[in-house]
A = this chain, B = another copy of it.
């Protein structure tokens, strides 16, 4: 296969002030790089839009090194090896990794996937479409699996509330809780998402936080025995309200904080320490990279449930790398159902 004329990249044009806008990004063309000794060249098929990327756009980030202006946006992709000087990878292999938002990317073949490392993993298109390796079989899947099953360890009959329930991580977390025999209530921002999680994915109930005037009353209605597990994808006011309805020995896993990530100043809320104490609640911060050593365990289990039809997934796909900034902004605003992807069929 002949190399194309250029490598198209999404780069940081300026740092976002709060919620990103399209002009914070720029599309540029660079020459397609030649892989050096031991390296390989990957042609991207799908780019992944993930909440963690927002933090990387700020001048400083608790999540590791940030970008300079002009740098390619840090992001995951799944693609095909088109040149290889590395005996471990053949042309035609499919790989997933943090290779940046670009149509062609060089990898040194490293498989190290420590926090934000650019290590790649071979993926098997016979198990699932390659896009699944950015979602249900990728980091979102690994996140849902360990944050729910290991950190919260929900028991049959317990009540699990999932926020961000319409997204890639939340929609899987709720299904895993159903497999465990729990009552599962999802909170999401549109009736379309609620219909998806309740009618298609089997959640027991759904709450549209945008149209529910009294969230605590809705939780009392849908969680009559209070909340044993809160799978917290969003933080903020919703998480604060949920604290008021936790059951004794509740577990809260802090997986995402998307409601707060675009705020320049953190809002203040009344002290709830007393509620957490008397509930004997456990709260735990979760970063998926800590579980990388066991990621295959999650992928294998999820692939098994997929094959059995016990779990399903949706994707929201935008077309072409030029659509990536808009897809990213839409995802941050809750526009996606399931995994937000950018498909790069036309390069």
Q: Mark A239-260, 1 if CB is under 8 A from B, else 0.
A: 1000000000000001101001
Q: Which segment, of A152-160, A182-190, A199-207, A278-286, faces chain B?
A: A278-286
Chain B, residue nearest A256 (CB): B277
Q: Is the CB of B257 within 8 A of A274?
A: yes
Q: Name the residue in A260, A269, A271, A278 with the highest tally of chain B Cβ atoms < 10 Å from its Cβ.
A: A271
A265 contacts across to B, CB distance below 8 A:
270
A268 contacts across to B, CB distance below 8 A:
268-271
| A305 close to chain B: CB less than 8 A | no
Contact A282:B280 (CB < 8 A) given known A268-B269, A270-B267, A274-B257: no
Chain B, residue nearest A278 (CB): B62
A284 contacts across to B, CB distance below 8 A:
280-283
| A218 close to chain B: CB less than 8 A | no
Copies in the complex: 2
Q: Mark A287-325, 1 if CB is under 8 A from B, else 0.
A: 100100000000000000000000000000000000000
A239 contacts across to B, CB distance below 8 A:
273
The smallest C-beta distance from A169 to any residue of chain B, in angstroms, reads 14
| A164 close to chain B: CB less than 8 A | no
A140 contacts across to B, CB distance below 8 A:
none
A257 contacts across to B, CB distance below 8 A:
273-274, 277
Q: Is the CB of A285 within 8 A of B290?
A: no
| A236 close to chain B: CB less than 8 A | yes
The smallest C-beta distance from A144 to any residue of chain B, in angstroms, reads 16
A260 contacts across to B, CB distance below 8 A:
271, 273-274
A267 contacts across to B, CB distance below 8 A:
270-271
The smallest C-beta distance from A164 to any residue of chain B, in angstroms, reads 14
A290 contacts across to B, CB distance below 8 A:
280
In Å, the complex CA distance between A257 and B272 comes to: 10
In Å, the complex CA distance between A280 and B150 comes to: 14
Contact A280:B274 (CB < 8 A) given known A268-B268, A268-B269: no
Between-chain CB contacts (< 8 Å), 28 pairs: A62-B274, A63-B278, A235-B271, A235-B273, A235-B274, A236-B271, A239-B273, A254-B276, A255-B277, A257-B274, A257-B277, A260-B271, A260-B274, A265-B270, A266-B270, A266-B271, A267-B270, A268-B269, A268-B270, A268-B271, A276-B283, A277-B286, A277-B287, A278-B287, A279-B285, A280-B286, A280-B287, A281-B285
Return the 9 tightest CB-CB contacts between A and B, nearest first. Answer: A268-B268, A277-B285, A266-B271, A266-B270, A62-B278, A254-B277, A283-B283, A280-B285, A235-B273
Give the B-binding residues of A (Cβ under 8 A). Answer: 62-63, 232, 235-236, 239, 254-255, 257, 260-261, 265-287, 290
